[in-house]
Structure 1
Amino acid sequence: MKNNNRHLSALALALLAAFPLGATAQSIDELRREQRALKEKVDALEKKLKDAESKPATGGMTEQEKQDFNRIAIKTEALEDSQESMGFRLLKISGQMDPSFIYNKLQRRSGFQFLNKVEDGGYNYDNSYFGMAILDFQKELEGGTKWRFTLAPNRGVGSVFDGNSPVHEASVSIPLSDLQTRFIAGQIPDWSGYEYLQPTLNKLITHNLLFDFTLPTAYTGAGMEIVRGKWIYKGVVANMNKSMRDQRERSPVFAYRVDYSRGEFQGFGFAGTHGKAANFTENIVDGLGEPIPQRDSTVHLFEFDAYFIRGDWTAQAQLSYGMQRKAAISVDPVTGDLRDARWWGISTLAAHKFTPRFEGILRMDYLNNRKNGGGLLGYTASDDRNGIGPGWTDDGTGTWTQNDTEKGTNRFALSMGVGYLFNLNTTLKAEYRMDRATEAVFLDAKNGGYKKTNHLIGLGVVVSF
């Protein structure tokens, strides 16, 4: 049998040399299906051969069957070598998309949202990471190095902070002393909070207030990932929300995350970002009234999150605190100087599966943003679509004036939704969301007035492979 195997290997190499990569015209799926079928035949023939060797008196494989076995074994080996030479070995390709329908009452807008550009209205709670299509390539090399390249045109993190980039993630993970101690580098989406960006991992359609307004978008840099038992540590020195620093900007941020799995059903994590990031305030103007561009300013962000998932129940929660130097919405009323923006918030989510396919979800958010007129990460001016900044008052004649500019508006959000697993690759979602503020800060597009409450209805279908 050993001599026969050596003969098969030599013959396989000869065939490959004569007909190089004969399977390249086939798709990877066809190659894999054919390889599986051939392996099943080889297994059956090997079993028959072993039975024949152990019981020679009962007969065994005929000469024709032996020839078939040799031919199948050679073809299987050739397919395996072809797959590896084309780079398909340990390559995983996956994707997902979620065409969505959104109705926003005060915006007087309803319709489908899918692959729309970030420039079309900017990043808002009713226009964030949904209505996207993702194609994800993951490759593991010999030795344990991992490579990941994820494309998400118009709706990925690259589009949010770079404007035109379709790259959502481009990262490498290289093992050092062992597979649990790794060097990581590249463009890495932010890892803060309990909620995930991808539609397949997010139970509702929209995201919570902390996700949308208090967390970084992505990091471009390098660092380490260490796994020790139930603990996972990650940290990078990076640019926050920038693929390259501007002129006269040299200071990076240090971003980290720590996760602990207490048991099979529960765990917690915390994340932080400290350093300098872009300051978008336009409250200081030159003699012509044009905004003076601000240099990057110091940010300190910290959040703690936890989860409990057991049986039909899911419970998640997050606490966040943040500040950015010279990024508040209102300037000092006496000196006219820029002031610091500060905020804190909480988000909780509970979900219950009434059946293995049908799940109900409830999420509640609160965001305290009163200091210095308000101001959040990337939101340094009043925003009457998202409900950020000082409120407005009607004098009774239809004329609206802004309230005390020293006080920003606190925000609430309540979301109720359902998810239905139509099949293994398709989930149907529906969500009702009520956003409320402590003052009238949501613009009513119908009459130009302001209200404290807005309503949103979303429908979506998530398909993945």
Structure 2
Amino acid sequence: MENPMKPAKKLLALALLAALPCASVQAQSAAELQREVELLKNQLKLLSEKIEAMASKPEPVNPQEFNRLVQKIDLAEEDAIKAGFKGMKFKGVMEVGYQQDDIAAAIGFDKARGNGGFGAAMFEISKEPDEGIGWTLRLTPLSSSGIVHEASLSVPVGSGSSKVIAGLTPDFSGYELSWGNANSLISNNLLYTHSAATNYMGVGLAYAVGPWSAKWMLGQVDGVATRNAPGFAYRGDYLASEYSGIGFSGVHVRTNNLTGNVDLMEVDAYRTRGDLTLQGQLSLGRSIGGAGNGSGADARWWGISGLVGYKLQPRLQALARFDYIDNRANGGGIYYSGTGASAAAMFGRELDADGAVLEPSRGTSRYALTAGFNYAVNASTQWKTELRLDRSSGYNFINSDAVRKQGNTTLGTGMVVSF
């Protein structure tokens, strides 16, 4: 009898034999697939390297486009040179203020009010040296002294830093400048407004040697042309460090008459480091034969001004300034707007409350104490506030009701925009 297990074993053997080719095919397919994957990886790597190489290599420049661009630039430069615009700069300042004081009959916005005054507009066109020659034209539409504030030019001399300067230029003296964007407070100090010239018109030279610089001019001072000899103005500066410097200046005027001959001299200095700013000035003045008592003696005066500024925050600066002018000698007299010795602007002989002269040989002295804040709204805008106390040794202030006073208090705020 046949064993029933034998047919089953035969069938299992046949099934295994039939399955072996399939297993071999599957094993062969897996190996090929692995090789294909490796090949694709290598191709991807090569492709990535080609892409990186193409990215690092600059694109070819179209010669025609490049030449057209060069021609456009050259034509634009030629047009600018022909039109005179090459190296030209434009600047402007606008200052608007509001103030209230004890003297004026009204309060409000004004371009020039009170002691020192404020509120102005300025537009400046200047040209950088082209072949060494530069010029500046500065206009002041609201100024009572004329629309042209500066019209000057400079011409180099030799191969050094010396140059000829000529035309109309502002006064050289003091630590304060003409425009609100260059000064921290609203008003100017007493020395700036009452013991300094306003401008010069003439010709001179400017030099620079290391930390030293100097300039001088011969010509008219404050527009007064009746001179036997031209006026002489000069200034020298020494840059002690990147934080500090010192300067001195003088103005000497000789008229056709004995009276009105004036000598003004001053020295000023500054130091700015970190949050602290210090500025100071000492001035001396003389008007030959200009004594306020009419004796024919000389009017003599001296004055000081000092300013301290401290930044409470990067944009906010607290400020204080003290000014003093001693004008007691020979009945007073001071230089003011080119008039020589003058009793104007609350100077002159010392008066009592009724306007009577207390002592003919004693002039009026004045001081001013100013405190305020300067806030930098942005790089081109400043907001200022200020409280100023002006005092006199006599009753030389007169208010709108014709009442004599020994002082004046001014409260003001203003905004300065520049570009």
Secondary structure of residue in 2 paired with 1:401 = coil
User: How far has the Cα of 1:253 moved from its partner?
Assistant: 1.7
Aligned to 2:368: 413
Preserved CA contact (<8 Å) 1:100 1:112 = yes
Distance in 2 separating the partners of 1:435 and 1:67? 73
State which of 287, 299, 302 in structure 2 corresponds to 1:341: 299
Secondary structure of residue in 1 paired with 2:193 = helix
Q: Comparing 296-305 with 363-372, which one deviates more in the overlay? A: 296-305
Aligned to 2:115: 125
Distance in 1 separating the partners of 2:369 and 2:56? 75
What does residue range 180-259 of structure 1 map to in structure 2 within 5 Å?
Answer: 180-242=161-223, 245-246=225-226, 249-259=227-237
Distance in 2 separating the partners of 1:79 and 1:416? 51
Distance in 1 separating the partners of 2:128 and 2:71? 26
- CA distance 1:450–1:59, shift in 2 (3 Å): closer
Aligned to 1:314: 277
Aligned to 2:264: 301
Preserved CA contact (<8 Å) 2:331 2:350 = no
CA offsets 1:210-241 (integer angstroms, 9 cap, x no match): 11111111111111101000000111111111
User: How far has the Cα of 1:425 moved from its partner?
Assistant: 1.3
Aligned to 2:70: 73
User: How far has the Cα of 1:134 moved from its partner?
Assistant: 0.8
Aligned to 1:148: 136
Distance in 2 separating the partners of 1:227 and 1:267? 15
The aligned length equals 364
User: How far has the Cα of 1:307 moved from its partner?
Assistant: 0.6
User: How far has the Cα of 1:83 moved from its partner?
Assistant: 2.1
Aligned to 1:428: 383
Distance in 1 separating the partners of 2:56 and 2:157? 56
Secondary structure of residue in 2 paired with 1:75 = helix
Aligned to 1:382: 343
> Please, which runs of 5 or more residues in structure 1 have no aligned partner?
1-54, 279-293, 333-337
> Please, which runs of 5 or more residues in structure 2 have no aligned partner?
1-52
Aligned to 2:15: none
TM-score (norm 1): 0.73
Preserved CA contact (<8 Å) 2:293 2:349 = no
User: How far has the Cα of 1:91 moved from its partner?
Assistant: 0.7
Query: What is the identity, as a one-letter code, of the residue corresponding to 1:382?
Result: A
CA offsets 1:262-297 (integer angstroms, 9 cap, x no match): 11111100001123159xxxxxxxxxxxxxxx6763
Preserved CA contact (<8 Å) 1:400 1:449 = no
Aligned to 2:409: 455
Aligned to 2:19: none
Query: What is the identity, as a one-letter code, of the residue corresponding to 1:387?
Result: M
Q: Comparing 102-111 with 220-229, which one deviates more in the overlay? A: 102-111
CA offsets 1:340-373 (integer angstroms, 9 cap, x no match): 2110010000101111111111100110001121
What stretches of structure 1 move > 6 A for 4+ residues in a row?
Answer: 55-59
RMSD: 2.3
Distance in 2 separating the partners of 1:230 and 1:304? 17
Distance in 1 separating the partners of 2:131 and 2:342? 50
Secondary structure of residue in 1 paired with 2:107 = strand
What does residue range 20-39 of structure 1 map to in structure 2 within 5 Å?
Answer: none
What does residue range 253-272 of structure 1 map to in structure 2 within 5 Å?
Answer: 253-272=231-250
State which of 105, 109, 124 in structure 2 corresponds to 1:136: 124
User: How far has the Cα of 1:74 moved from its partner?
Assistant: 2.7
User: How far has the Cα of 1:381 moved from its partner?
Assistant: 4.3
CA offsets 1:71-103 (integer angstroms, 9 cap, x no match): 333323322222222211111111111012222
Secondary structure of residue in 2 paired with 1:78 = helix
Query: What is the identity, as a one-letter code, of the residue corresponding to 1:354?
Result: L
Preserved CA contact (<8 Å) 1:240 1:277 = no
Query: What is the identity, as a one-letter code, of the residue corresponding to 1:206?
Result: S
Distance in 1 separating the partners of 2:78 and 2:309? 47
- CA distance 1:202–1:59, shift in 2 (3 Å): closer
CA offsets 1:316-353 (integer angstroms, 9 cap, x no match): 11000010112222212xxxxx3321100100001011
Preserved CA contact (<8 Å) 1:107 1:443 = no
TM-score (norm 2): 0.81
Q: In percent, how many aligned pairs have the same letter?
A: 35
- CA distance 1:424–1:277, shift in 2 (3 Å): farther
User: How far has the Cα of 1:104 moved from its partner?
Assistant: 1.8
Aligned to 1:371: 329
- CA distance 1:79–1:437, shift in 2 (3 Å): same
Secondary structure of residue in 2 paired with 1:85 = helix
Aligned to 1:83: 80
Distance in 2 separating the partners of 1:277 and 1:306? 31
Preserved CA contact (<8 Å) 2:211 2:238 = yes
Preserved CA contact (<8 Å) 1:429 1:459 = yes
Secondary structure of residue in 2 paired with 1:212 = helix
- CA distance 1:56–1:424, shift in 2 (3 Å): closer
What does residue range 346-357 of structure 1 map to in structure 2 within 5 Å?
Answer: 346-357=304-315
Aligned to 2:21: none
1:173 partnered with 2:151: no
Distance in 2 separating the partners of 1:312 and 1:56? 54
1:360 partnered with 2:318: yes
1:391 partnered with 2:381: no
Secondary structure of residue in 1 paired with 2:166 = strand
